[in-house]
Amino acid sequence: MRVKTYTGRTFAFLIAATLAVNTLFVASGSALSFTNTYVRLDRMRTGATSSVRVVFTTSAGTGTEDNIRLNFNGADTTTWTGSSGSVNAAQTVATAACATDTGTTALPGTLTAAGATSIVTVSGVTNLAASTAYCFDLTSTTAVTLPTVGEYHPELTSRTGATIVDNTTVALRVVSDDQITVTANVPPAFNFQLDANTTAFTAPLSPGTKQQTTARTFTVNTNAKTGWVAWMRNADANGLYSVGVAKNIAPTTPGTAVDVDAAASTEQYVWGVSAITQGTGAGTTAATAVFDATGATNDGSGVDTTYRQVASGNGTTGNAVVTVRSSATIAGTTPAASDYTDVVQVVGAGQF
C-alpha cells in the first residue's frame, strides 16, 4: 500500500507540474501577430534624421490596448543604437495625414509619444478593434537618426501596460544615399515674326492732311527671363524717295516724338507703335516713349540708318503683338510722283 501511495503521489505531482509548465507556455506565447505592417522612414540615408510612419493591421484576436511600442533595436545582434543610430527622446505623434494618405484608421486616443534609448512609446491609445488597419506618424523630422548602412529589424507591439497583445517584426534598410539628383536644360528660345513685308499709305499724300499706312505687326515669343528688345532703321540714307523726280521726303528728326497733325502742311515722315497686346509670360510689353503712338498727341519718330529701339518686353513673352505704322504729310511744293518708296528694317533680340 505504501508503494502504491508513493506511486500515486508521484504521478499526481508530475501531472500538476506539466499543467503548470503548459500554463506558462501559453501565457508567454499568447501574443498574436499584426499583419500588413510597415514602418516607413522618410529618409533612408545613413546619418540622416527622419520622421516615421507606421501602418499595421490588428489580429483577429481580442485584447485591450493602451499603448503602442516601436523598438528600433528589435532582436538584432547588430542593433540600431549600436550602429550609430538613435531615437530622440522628444517625439510628436499625429494621425490625420496618414489616415488620409493610406485610407487606414487613425490610431484612436489622446496620443502622446516619447522616446527612450531605442524605443518610442505611443501612449493614450484607446482599445483597438480586431482585424482593423491603423496608422500613426512620428512627425518630428528628427524622430530618429539613421544608423550605418544595413538591414535592421524593429519590433512593433500593442500592449496593455507591459503586456503584449499583438506584435510583429519588420525589416528596414538603411542605404548610403536615398536621393536622385535631377538636372535639366531649357535652351533659349526667341521667335520674331512680321505679319507681312509690304504696306502702303491708304490714301494719296496731300498737303494739310495726315495720311497713314496700313498697319503691320511683329509677334514676339521668347523664354528670355529678362525680356527682349525690338528696333527699326532705314535701309538707306533716304526716307520716302522718288527716283522719277529725285525727291526725298526725309525722316522727321530721329529720336524726337512728333505730332504730325501739328504741322500738316510740311513734309513729315515718321513711324510709330500704334497698339500692343501682351499674350502670356511673366513680362510686359511697352513702346519706347518717342515711338509710342497709342495716344492722341504723338505719331512716332523718324527712322534713320541707326537702329532705334521701338518696343521691349521685361520678361518671358508668349505672343506679344506690336503694331507699327507710318504717318506722313507733305508740303504744297512736294513734287508729284507715283514711285515714292522706302525700306525699313525691323529686328529683335531676346535678353538672355
Percent of the chain with pLDDT over 90: 88
- Asked whether the predicted pLDDT for residue 194 surpasses 50, the reply is yes
- Asked whether the predicted pLDDT for residue 162 surpasses 80, the reply is yes
Amino acid at site 275: A
Residue 9 placed within a domain: no
**Do 137 and 69 have their domain in common?**
yes
Amino acid at site 57: T
**Do 111 and 152 have their domain in common?**
yes
Stretch 160-183: mean pLDDT, rounded?
A: 97
- Asked whether the predicted pLDDT for residue 179 surpasses 80, the reply is yes
Compute the mean pLDDT over every residue in the chain, rounded to the nearest whole number: 92
The three grid cell numbers given for residue 159, joined into one nine-digit string: 500592449
**Do 207 and 169 have their domain in common?**
no
**Do 111 and 149 have their domain in common?**
yes
**Do 37 and 152 have their domain in common?**
yes
Residue 10 placed within a domain: no
User: 206 versus 15: which is more confidently predicted?
Assistant: 206
pLDDT in tens, 233-292: 999 999 999 999 999 999 999 999 999 999 999 999 999 999 999 989 999 999 999 999
pLDDT of residue 17: 35
The three grid cell numbers given for residue 349, joined into one nine-digit string: 533680340
**Do 153 and 218 have their domain in common?**
no
Q: Which domain holds residue 38?
A: 31-174
**Do 210 and 283 have their domain in common?**
yes
State the pLDDT confidence band at 63, using cuts at 50, 70 and 90: confident
Q: Which of 150, 174, 198 is the last residue of a domain?
A: 174
Q: How many domains does the chain have?
A: 2
- Neighbouring residues of 164: CB distance < 8 A, sequence distance ≥ 6: 31, 157, 158
**Do 84 and 205 have their domain in common?**
no
User: 11 versus 202: which is more confidently predicted?
Assistant: 202
Q: Which of 174, 209, 244 is the last residue of a domain?
A: 174
State the pLDDT confidence band at 61, using cuts at 50, 70 and 90: confident
The three grid cell numbers given for residue 194, joined into one nine-digit string: 512680321
**Do 203 and 345 have their domain in common?**
yes
What angle (nearest 5°) sits at the alpha carbon of residue 22, between those of residues 19 and 28? Answer: 140
- Asked whether the predicted pLDDT for residue 102 surpasses 70, the reply is yes
- Asked whether the predicted pLDDT for residue 169 surpasses 50, the reply is yes
pLDDT in tens, 222-233: 999 999 999 999
Q: Is the pTM of this model over 0.75?
A: no
**Do 324 and 251 have their domain in common?**
yes
- Asked whether the predicted pLDDT for residue 315 surpasses 60, the reply is yes
pLDDT of residue 30: 53
Q: What is the CATH number of the domain that holds 110?
A: 2.60.40.10
**Do 132 and 257 have their domain in common?**
no
Percent of the chain with pLDDT over 70: 91
**Do 167 and 58 have their domain in common?**
yes
Please state, in angstroms and as integers, the Cα–Cα distance from residue 292 to each residue in 109, 140, 286, following that order.
70, 59, 8
pLDDT of residue 92: 98
Residue 110 placed within a domain: yes
